[in-house]
Chain A
Amino acid sequence: MSASAGIASAVGKATTPSQDKRWRLVDATVRRVGHQGRGLIETLHTVQEVFGYLDEEALRYVALALRVPLSRAYGVATFYHFFTLKPAGEHTCVVCMGTACYIKGAPQLLAAMEHDLGIAPGETTDNGKVSLLTARCLGSCGLAPAVVYDHEVAGKVTTQALREHLIKWMPQ
């Protein structure tokens, strides 16, 4: 559908893209923010929380439900680093690149991961097993260098510890 015609006709009656029950959670947020454009970031947070990422279908739906142009939804989704438009791998490994971690060897950790996995930060391995990400600062500077394995923060990480974790995720 063309964006303008779509928005004009669908105001107030955006239907969820699928029967997936997770859309109910998204709809709850849409209602809570009163179908207002000012609730865009909150709604995108909910979508990412329940689906893991924001795909085109979701962006179109949110834009319609909140009555904002798709360009604004896309603009916001790409402006903020926290939002991702691609699905993550089965496991995620986030290397903190904050100042304290940088000083204490995070670049070496990242280089080792890039070498072992053959991917750059922001990418997922071909078999969909591991996504490699970097963070600006986790606020765990007292434990630098820090790495997050599937939402669990580990401190004072060494290249060896990192590789041991990796083997568990990607058996040779």
Chain B
Amino acid sequence: MTPEELEQICQTEREAQAQITRRVNVCVAAGCLSCQSQGVKDALDKEITARGLEKRCQAKGVGCMGLCSEGPLVSTDSGVLYKNVAAGDAGEILDSLETKPVERLLCPTNTPFFQRQTKIVLENCGVIDPERIEDYIAASGYSALIYVLTELLPTQVIEQVVKSGLRGRGGAGYPTGLKWSTVLKASGTQKYVICNADEGDPGAFMDRSVLESDPHRVLEGMMIAAYAVGASEGYIYVRAEYPLAVKRIRIAIRQAERLGLLGSNISGTRFGFHVDVRLGAGAFVCGEETALITSIEGKRGTPRPRPPYPAQQGLNGEPTLINNVETFANIPPIIRNGGDWYAKIGTEKSKGTKVFALAGRVMNTGLVEVPMGITLREIVFEVGGGIPDGRGFKAVQTGGPSGGCIPAEFLDMPVDYESLARVGSIMGSGGMIVMDETSCMVDVAKFFMDFCMTESCGKCIPCRVGTYQMKQLLELITKRAATSQDVAQLEELCDLLKNTSLCGLGQSAPNPVLSTLRYFGEEYKAHVEAHKCPAGVCGNRVAE
């Protein structure tokens, strides 16, 4: 495909879209689908046909609009958003297109939830049809790829990514540009690019939403990366638990191949790229890059010591670039607008935006994208709308089982990689769970330790045995049968796991315990000394 051909597709699609004067967008991402949004779309289609409006009016299935708790969500071309829509509302919504909006279904969009967001990764989510490549191309899709292939040298691409200051969105925050240049410099006959879509953190659904809502963006990001590092083969490792995301990324690959955007000699250049989907099978540890590579090789997903890093020796022993879904999704806009543009957003060391999956005890649950440096208070109380039922805020948990619980005293802290690490949590992949006073922090720590214990792959002893021992101690505390020695031993084990485990899973497993001990030590004390659970969550004391 030449730049001219791409432009041609873009123009044709835009003209076709201009013919449609009335458009109703229905969210068909997993969240709304589970509230029967497909029925809403079918009802709208049927109604449009019945009224003979097919030529001017269209109901379009689009990706996630963010406010998952109010689904099914429907938007119109005049910017009106409807919530909790049922199939029976189809006629009324179509009627309203010519008059004024349907009052009872209105979802106000002038609220901080919508106004405080900055959409870069999610710019097309809820706007384009994720199953049509033409719609993505009409939204400037693949223009960054064609530009890179025809105008830039690989080093110039990396230069832009370095300038942007983009850091890995999978959690650790390693500078993306630096990773790319390491892979470019590494010598090997065959290099690989892998997209890590094994979103294992419970409470995180950013990658799922991006793959379901805008899969071509991820493909485009991967291909630009492949060109920059000199790779010709790639894999998307995605959870089997996300069937819709798997389906849509497979459709996207087929469509891109059909248009010659994937394959050999792309855009008449010598660059070729082939990509395949690999399904995960429900192992949290496979989010760790060396374990993920082992899993792609068809084995049990156990990690291996680093170095050598995958950038030097990864898949099949060859240099391999692994980035997360959101990292790749940031690449096309960075190339289109330049690294300097991206670097203007965010803080000094954490550039750009971050997508968070906001959930738990908060009014507005769903997907949000905010600039780095925004405070936790703004996310929880403005974007999130605060705590429901008039209850008090207790903590916000970031980073899943590798992260920590942040108490109210740090609500005014800016959200960036360094600040979160300073208070004993991590940025993580973007899960953000809000807890109110009905949550017992010891119970939460036990929940995460149980998770790590089950998910430990068993390769190294500190993690395999340590997580079990810690879980047993936490169990004892929640049963209010523990002594202060047990708590001391728990702390000792935290130190041991952190320093001696083989991979990130074991090294970070103590984080939820450490952060709750640090900020909610009183609750541990109440369980151990007064045999009470202040939140009333833990069951009755079990006699020894």
Contact of A41 with B298 in the complex, beta carbons under 8 Å: yes
Q: Is A52 an interface residue (CB 8 A)?
A: no
Residue of A nearest to B300 (CB): A79
Contact of B298 with A37 in the complex, beta carbons under 8 Å: yes
Give min CB distance, A93 to chain B, whole Å: 15
Enumerate chain B residues within 8 angstroms of A104, measured Cβ to Cβ.
Answer: 360-361
> Contacts A103-B360, A137-B201, A141-B203; is A79 near B297 (CB within 8 Å)?
no
Interface residues of B in 280-303 (CB under 8 A from A): 280-284, 295-301
Q: Is B137 an interface residue (CB 8 A)?
A: no
CA A137 to CA B281, docked complex, whole Å: 13
Residue of A nearest to B439 (CB): A103
> Contacts A99-B400, A142-B31, A144-B359; is A137 near B204 (CB within 8 Å)?
yes
CA A138 to CA B69, docked complex, whole Å: 15
Q: Is A146 an interface residue (CB 8 A)?
A: yes
Give min CB distance, A75 to chain B, whole Å: 6
> Contacts A100-B360, A140-B30, A141-B365; is A82 near B433 (CB within 8 Å)?
no
Q: Is A12 an interface residue (CB 8 A)?
A: no
Give min CB distance, A120 to chain B, whole Å: 15
Q: Is B532 an interface residue (CB 8 A)?
A: no
Contact of A153 with B300 in the complex, beta carbons under 8 Å: no
> Contacts A82-B281, A152-B34; is A139 near B298 (CB within 8 Å)?
no
Contact of A136 with B200 in the complex, beta carbons under 8 Å: yes
Interface residues of A in 121-171 (CB under 8 A from B): 135-144, 146, 152-155
Give min CB distance, B414 to chain A, whole Å: 23
CA A98 to CA B284, docked complex, whole Å: 12
Contact of B299 with A72 in the complex, beta carbons under 8 Å: yes
Range of interface residues on A (Cβ < 8 Å) = 35 or more
Inter-chain contact total with CB atoms closer than 8 Å? 141
Residue of A nearest to B34 (CB): A153
Residue of B nearest to A148 (CB): B34
The interface bits of chain A over 36-51 (1 if a CB of B lies within 8 angstroms of the residue's CB, else 0) are: 1111111011000000
Q: Is B68 an interface residue (CB 8 A)?
A: yes
CA A82 to CA B243, docked complex, whole Å: 13
Our pick among B34, B241, B283 for the contact of A146 (Cβ within 8 Å) is: B34
Contact of B298 with A76 in the complex, beta carbons under 8 Å: yes
Q: Is B135 an interface residue (CB 8 A)?
A: no
Enumerate chain B residues within 8 angstroms of A38, measured Cβ to Cβ.
Answer: 296-298
The interface bits of chain B over 64-100 (1 if a CB of A lies within 8 angstroms of the residue's CB, else 0) are: 0001110100000000000000000000000000000
> Contacts A100-B359, A137-B201, A153-B34; is A143 near B68 (CB within 8 Å)?
yes
Contact of B295 with A155 in the complex, beta carbons under 8 Å: no
CA A155 to CA B72, docked complex, whole Å: 12
Give min CB distance, B293 to chain A, whole Å: 11
The interface bits of chain B over 290-327 (1 if a CB of A lies within 8 angstroms of the residue's CB, else 0) are: 00000111111100000000000000000000000000
CA A127 to CA B298, docked complex, whole Å: 36
Enumerate chain A residues within 8 angstroms of B295, measured Cβ to Cβ.
Answer: 41
Residue of A nearest to B212 (CB): A139
Our pick among B201, B278, B300, B397 for the contact of A42 (Cβ within 8 Å) is: B278
Q: Is B369 an interface residue (CB 8 A)?
A: no
Q: Is A81 an interface residue (CB 8 A)?
A: yes
> Contacts A40-B298, A81-B281, A103-B433; is A155 near B34 (CB within 8 Å)?
yes
Known: A104-B360, A142-B31. 5 other contacts (CB 8 A): A41-B281, A45-B279, A139-B205, A140-B31, A141-B359
A-B CB proximity, top 10 nearest: A142-B68, A80-B281, A98-B202, A153-B34, A139-B205, A99-B203, A81-B282, A82-B282, A100-B359, A141-B359
Residues of B within 8 A of A (CB): 30-31, 33-35, 67-69, 71, 199-205, 208, 240-242, 278-284, 295-301, 357, 359-361, 365-367, 397, 400, 431, 433, 435, 439, 444, 447-448, 451, 457
